[in-house]
Amino acid sequence: MNQKIYPSDSLRGTLTLPADKSISHRAALFASIAGKESNITNFSQADDPQSTLACLRQLGVPVEQRSNHSVTIKGVGRSGLHTPDKPLDCGNSGTTMRLLSGIVGGCGLEATLSGDKSLNQRPMRRIIDPLREMGVEIEARKGEYAPLQIKGRKENTSLDFTLPIASAQLKSCVLLAGLFGTDDTIVREKLQSRDHTERLLNLRIEEKEGSGRKIFSNNQVQIPEQSYRVPADFSAASFWLVAGAIHPDAEIEMTGVGLNPTRTALLDILNEMGADISVYNETNEGREPVGDLIVKSSSLKATNISSDVVPNCIDEIPILAVAMLFAEGTSVIRGAEELRHKETDRLKAIADIFTKVGASFEVFEDGLKIQGNPTFIPERARLDSYDDHRIAMSAAVLTLLGDGPSLIRNAEVAKISYPTFWEDLQTLVLTN
């Protein structure tokens, strides 16, 4: 689908955002190995979490999905998963592949995990090495890419693992495999990435100033039932937070948004840049903080982002780069080389798009230097989504301020995380 974007005079309205993708994956995965039935409400309808549900069904987990977006999962316990009769299709979802590898490998099943063209080119060595150290027999295409063939577990070895990269998927993979071992598996992290796994499994954590966090898992951990409402996705909110802040006539409200501090660095960064954002009605959904947000047209100034905050805005960097184009002064993003290993090489995709709309910037191996200008008017352009949901949505926000209609190719990819993105955009443009 080609999506035409018309610059709009105003952006106004209240949105009900899609459910959080990271929490939906985890709710389903953890519910499946819990001993009880879980009732998850507001489960994400986006393609990625639906890939997780499909894989769980293939593993023999009873999953019932209702039209009101609630999902009932009858947990089969740690030893109740079945050997699937065909490869598990993880679609475009890195979270499905990396977390499910931890569970399948941990419990000693034989299964092949495969994905679409993009996922089968993303780095898997990061999970293969620790899983092998834990006794999982695993083979990969060219030694490092999916399809991953998990051939069971020779021994059940616990692992004391220091994360070489700040990745919540890697951290979760190892902790999930650790749930099947008698001795403690310990994951040590210096920079804290999103902590949904630790929260939702209620894992033991030790934290010392200066030496980072230690997270523990073993087969004594009681896997809690996952009966709660999934918050709205902060990463989805981020597109509208930036759109509202950079647009000269905007007021956008979003309710029930996940505000886990390991996810909301974009909020702090935008506030520091001078954005007019209010957070109110703060409460909790299950083990996760949530709140309502309102963003209004703002005057932004430039800022710098370094490696210590990158893990807490890893998915928001493309849209933050858009915000920086409209901020007074020069902004710099460093320490973001992980962006090159996402659904597409996101630094390259941003650079291509910025070139096409006439922006002033420089790209590095690990970031960007962006010359901002509050009166910048992007040139109309034909842009590609690079088959990456977050690039498609970032391009849409950028071209809303363009000098004429722009076009985004393969825009349907937004449904990987945000199935109603294009409808929500229409709502904001049409509401007066």
Binding residue (CB under 6 A) for ligand S3P from 8, 42, 169, 260: 169
- Cα separation of 395 and 384, whole Å? 9
User: How far is the CA of 322 from the CAs of 34, 270, 336, 348, 394, in angstroms?
Assistant: 42, 12, 15, 14, 7
Please confirm, yes or no, whether 308 is among the known catalytic residues: no
- Tokens found for residue 96: 């499905």
Identify residue 129 by its one-letter amino acid code. Answer: D
Q: Where are the alpha helices (DSSP H) in 90-195?
A: 94-107, 125-133, 168-178
399, 3 contact by CB (below 8 A): no
350, 394 contact by CB (below 8 A): yes
Does the footprint of ligand S3P cover residue 313 (CB under 6 A)? no
Binding mask 350-379 for ligand S3P (x = CB under 6 A): ------------------------------
Strand partners for 188: 162, 214
CB of 426 to ligand S3P, least distance (A): 26
Cβ closest to ligand S3P, residue 340 vs residue 369:
340
CB of 169 to ligand S3P, least distance (A): 4
Q: Which stretch binds ligand S3P (CB under 6 A): 56-64, 168-176, 239-247, 251-259?
A: 168-176
Catalytic residue among 315, 384, 387, 424: 315
Cβ closest to ligand S3P, residue 46 vs residue 383:
46
**Does 87 sit behind a cis peptide bond, omega within 30 degrees of 0 on the bond before it?**
no
Cβ closest to ligand S3P, residue 32 vs residue 95:
95
CB of 27 to ligand S3P, least distance (A): 12
Cβ closest to ligand S3P, residue 191 vs residue 363:
191
Does the footprint of ligand S3P cover residue 238 (CB under 6 A)? no
Cβ closest to ligand S3P, residue 101 vs residue 167:
167
Does the footprint of ligand S3P cover residue 385 (CB under 6 A)? no
Does the footprint of ligand S3P cover residue 3 (CB under 6 A)? no
- Cα separation of 375 and 227, whole Å? 48
Does the footprint of ligand S3P cover residue 168 (CB under 6 A)? yes
Cβ closest to ligand S3P, residue 194 vs residue 229:
194
Does the footprint of ligand S3P cover residue 51 (CB under 6 A)? no
**Total residues interacting with ligand S3P, rule: CB under 6 A:** 11
Binding residue (CB under 6 A) for ligand S3P from 24, 95, 238, 303: 95
Does the footprint of ligand S3P cover residue 44 (CB under 6 A)? no
CB of 308 to ligand S3P, least distance (A): 15
Q: Tally the C-alpha atoms within 13 A of residue 423's C-alpha that lie toward its C-beta.
A: 8
- Cα separation of 164 and 127, whole Å? 11
Does the footprint of ligand S3P cover residue 315 (CB under 6 A)? yes
- Cα separation of 159 and 163, whole Å? 12
Strands 145-153 and 110-114: antiparallel
CB of 401 to ligand S3P, least distance (A): 26
Does the footprint of ligand S3P cover residue 331 (CB under 6 A)? no
CB of 31 to ligand S3P, least distance (A): 16
Cβ closest to ligand S3P, residue 93 vs residue 185:
93
Does the footprint of ligand S3P cover residue 124 (CB under 6 A)? no
CB of 95 to ligand S3P, least distance (A): 4
431, 31 contact by CB (below 8 A): no
Helices (H) and strands (E) in the chain, counts: 12, 22
**Angle, alpha carbons 295-298-302 (nearest 5°):** 115
**Angle, alpha carbons 138-144-149 (nearest 5°):** 30
Binding residue (CB under 6 A) for ligand S3P from 105, 153, 177, 194: 194
Cβ closest to ligand S3P, residue 266 vs residue 359:
266
Cβ closest to ligand S3P, residue 138 vs residue 339:
339
CB of 154 to ligand S3P, least distance (A): 27
Binding residue (CB under 6 A) for ligand S3P from 3, 58, 158, 167: 167
CB atoms within 10 A of CB 345: 16
Binding residue (CB under 6 A) for ligand S3P from 266, 314, 413, 416: 314
Binding residue (CB under 6 A) for ligand S3P from 3, 8, 22, 50: 22
Strand partners for 160: 186
- Cα separation of 21 and 28, whole Å? 11
370, 361 contact by CB (below 8 A): yes
- Cα separation of 71 and 166, whole Å? 31
CB atoms within 10 A of CB 205: 13
CB atoms within 10 A of CB 110: 13
- Cα separation of 295 and 298, whole Å? 8
- Name the residues that contact ligand S3P, by CB under 6 A: 22, 95, 167-169, 172, 193-194, 314-315, 338
Catalytic residue ranges? 315
